[in-house]
Structures are given as structure tokens and as C-alpha cells.
Chains A and B, each alone.
Chain A
């Protein structure tokens, strides 16, 4: 008779490896985008969560506003298309205080229909949150009690925001799986037998000049940054534009010359991004 086993008879078996209970972990950490945000939502916190690529403003655990340097603000969306007069906007922002946010001042004065302001704001909120919730290399910071001068319009539950952010990531991934074009300067390329671009996409293409990024183009057109990313990824998939690869970092003058014959490893940004995404994905498991 043969005994099949890795543990010899008479010895104690090794302790079981710790395995994270997936179901409870997922429940605890929400969608895994930001465990901190999930916790703040559960404790109905009020304040601002500052992350590497943007900030989320919370009121009683729900998101009332979001800002990111990668997404055009509500002012850009409202003013570029002439929905609101710039002086009216400035006045409201200056007069806004804790009690009366700028949004309420604009609505009370009848400067903008409620539907228009609400939808523009909701669009700007989800847009900035998409970037604010992007994988980051630095921990987030929460400042309790801080409000936003705009005031609350239509608060969004954290889980709805996280769900939508994940859906947006998947949508971009489906359109064109290379995220490089999201942050890099864009360059037009000659495509062979490319499908015709739409009017909206042509407006994006017209601004591609080897310097502007997708966020810059969004700001100039007064469109949401995520919408521009959708156009950019579709154009990249059609071969009509590509991302300008970051130039190799200049060699520091003080560094001694590497000995001949030994190739120095080149540090490449996309690799770091990929590693960060991998780490985030593994943590989210």
C-alpha cells in the first residue's frame, strides 16, 4: 500500500496558508476602487477626499462634487457653449458662502434652468471622478468638514459612482486597449483605408498637434474629458492618431559615463504605469 501525501507520517502538517476570504473582502472593500471612499461612505462622512489625480467632495457620505486637473471644470462646460455669461458665473462664485452655494445663487436668480445646471454638473462630476478614482501611487487624504463653494445639487451615492467609473474603464478598454493615448501628447497619423471620422471626432483631430493631450483638447472644445478619451481611443483604433511617446529622460550631467560595453537599462514610463495597474489589479482581487 502506498500513501500519497506530502506530509510524512508522524509529523504535524504545515499551517494552512492564509487565504483572503474573497466574498467578505469584496463586501468590505466595495468595488475595490478606493477602500477609503467606501469606508467614508459607510460612516456618512462630510469633507473632501484628495487623491493623486483629483478630489471628491462628500456630504453625509455622498459625492456632491468632484474636481480633477485632467477634466475641464463645470465653468468650462457652461461658459464655452455660451450657456452662461462669464460675468454672471464670476459673480455667483464670489458671492457664494457656506449657506448659499454658487449653484443655488444661479438658480434663485433664474440665470440657468435647473435641468441644464443639474445635468452639466452631473456630467462634470462623473468626468472628474473618473480621473480622481484612477489607480494612484500615493495614498489619499481626507479633510473632514470641508465643503465646496458650489453647494450640493444632486448628490451621487458612492457605489453608483464607483460602478460607473468601472464601466467607463471597461468601455475604453473595449474601444482600444492601449491607455497610453489618455495622458500623452497626441499626434496625427496617416492611416490607410481608415473609416471616416464623425463631425465630433474631426473637431478633436483638428486640435491634435503633437503637444496637446486629450485633456487639453477637451478643455479647448468645452467637452468632458472622458468623452474626448472615447473619441481619442476610437481614432487611435482607426489609426488616425497615436500618442507621442515620452522622450527619454535627459542624462544628468553629473552622472559618470557608463563603462563601454555594458548597456544601461532604460526606465520606460509605460512600464511603470503597467506595473502600477498590475499591482492595483492584484490588490483588488
Chain B
């Protein structure tokens, strides 16, 4: 049983190469919690922007008639990985965990596994 802040801290500490994390409500685009980030990397902006990514993918799946749920979305940059993991909140709103990883230092399979574990502990 952890709170948001602890879960995000754990994500950064336990996932190799993680530099920033956010928990985002994807209807409003609001970051419910952020950790890491810097002046040059505003997590609130990233949260709102990635909301559009999630929304676009969900709409496409609905148009295609795909019934499966999105587990995660991976965006690879030349030097970073951005990992988005979808979670359904108990208050009837959709959330996602957003994680920024250094491509050179991280292990993607491991990061996905850890993120799943953190989601379970978060109990949102």
C-alpha cells in the first residue's frame, strides 16, 4: 500500500536508467504526480502532450474494432525511451504512468516488468 509519491520514487530508484516519471490523468491531461524532470524537460508539458498520444491510439483501436486493452506504449528516441503504461483508476477515470529512460543505460524488458509491479503496488 503506497501513495503516489512513494510509487514514483520507487520507479525512479528501482528502474535502471530512469530519469523522470509522472502519473497522468488522460482525460484532463493533468499530472497527478511528477518526479524528476528539469527546467529543460517540463513533465507537466510532457504529461499533457502524451495524453494526445494515448487518446489517438485508443480512438484508432475503437475504429478498428479492437477489443483488447493497451498495456503500454513505447516511443524510442535516439537517446531516450519513453514508456507509457495505462492504468484504470477507481474513480472512473483513465490514468497512465509515464517513464523517461536513458536508452544507453536501460533494459527495456526489465523496465516494463518493474513498471507492472509498481502499478500493482500503487493500487489506484
Check A115 against B2 for contact (C-beta < 8 Å). yes
CB of A53 closer than 8 Å to a CB of B: no
CB of A146 closer than 8 Å to a CB of B: no
**Closest approach, in angstroms, between the C-beta of B7 and any C-beta of chain A?**
7
In the bound assembly, the distance between CA atoms of A224 and B25 in angstroms comes to 11
CB of A227 closer than 8 Å to a CB of B: yes
Contact residue among B7, B27, B29, B92 (Cβ-Cβ distance under 8 Å from A115): B7
Q: Which chain B residues lie closer than 8 Å to A164 at the CB level? A: 30
Contact residue among B23, B48, B62, B90 (Cβ-Cβ distance under 8 Å from A116): B90
In the bound assembly, the distance between CA atoms of A167 and B95 in angstroms comes to 18
**Closest approach, in angstroms, between the C-beta of A152 and any C-beta of chain B?**
13
A-contacting residues, B75-89, CB 8 Å: 89
Knowing A113-B1, A119-B32, A196-B62 are in contact, say whether A81-B123 is a contact too (CB < 8 A). no
Most-contacted residue by chain A among B4, B23, B30, B93 (CB, 10 A) = B93
Q: Which chain A residues lie closer than 8 Å to B124 at the CB level? A: 113, 115-116, 119
B: interface residue count bin = 20 to 34
In the bound assembly, the distance between CA atoms of A230 and B28 in angstroms comes to 8
Q: Interface code B41-69, partner A: CB below 8 Å = 1, 0 otherwise?
A: 00000001000000000110011000000
In the bound assembly, the distance between CA atoms of A80 and B123 in angstroms comes to 18
Q: Which chain B residues lie closer than 8 Å to A113 at the CB level? A: 1, 123-124
CB of B38 closer than 8 Å to a CB of A: no
Q: Interface code A91-122, partner B: CB below 8 Å = 1, 0 otherwise?
A: 00000000000000000000001111011101
CB of A198 closer than 8 Å to a CB of B: yes
In the bound assembly, the distance between CA atoms of A196 and B64 in angstroms comes to 12
Knowing A116-B123, A120-B91, A222-B92 are in contact, say whether A168-B4 is a contact too (CB < 8 A). no
CB of B35 closer than 8 Å to a CB of A: no
Q: Which chain A residues lie closer than 8 Å to B93 at the CB level? A: 123, 223-224, 227
**Closest approach, in angstroms, between the C-beta of B55 and any C-beta of chain A?**
9
CB of B103 closer than 8 Å to a CB of A: no
B-contacting residues, A211-232, CB 8 Å: 221-224, 226-227, 230-231
Check A226 against B28 for contact (C-beta < 8 Å). yes
Q: Interface code A74-87, partner B: CB below 8 Å = 1, 0 otherwise?
A: 00011011010000
CB of A199 closer than 8 Å to a CB of B: yes
Q: Which chain A residues lie closer than 8 Å to B3 at the CB level? A: 114-115, 118, 154
Check A224 against B91 for contact (C-beta < 8 Å). yes
Most-contacted residue by chain B among A81, A119, A120, A171 (CB, 10 A) = A119
Knowing A196-B63, A198-B59 are in contact, say whether A119-B28 is a contact too (CB < 8 A). no
Check A227 against B4 for contact (C-beta < 8 Å). no
CB of A142 closer than 8 Å to a CB of B: no
In the bound assembly, the distance between CA atoms of A196 and B92 in angstroms comes to 22
CB of B122 closer than 8 Å to a CB of A: yes
Check B25 against A123 for contact (C-beta < 8 Å). yes
In the bound assembly, the distance between CA atoms of A199 and B93 in angstroms comes to 13
In the bound assembly, the distance between CA atoms of A167 and B24 in angstroms comes to 15
CB of A70 closer than 8 Å to a CB of B: no
Check A119 against B92 for contact (C-beta < 8 Å). no
CB of A126 closer than 8 Å to a CB of B: yes
**Closest approach, in angstroms, between the C-beta of B21 and any C-beta of chain A?**
14
Check B28 against A227 for contact (C-beta < 8 Å). yes
Check A171 against B28 for contact (C-beta < 8 Å). yes
Contact residue among B62, B91, B122 (Cβ-Cβ distance under 8 Å from A81): B91
Q: Interface code A54-82, partner B: CB below 8 Å = 1, 0 otherwise?
A: 00000000000000000000000110110
Could you list 14 A-B pairs, sorted by A, with CB under 8 Å?
A83-B91, A113-B1, A114-B2, A116-B91, A123-B93, A154-B4, A164-B30, A171-B28, A222-B91, A224-B27, A224-B93, A226-B28, A227-B27, A230-B27
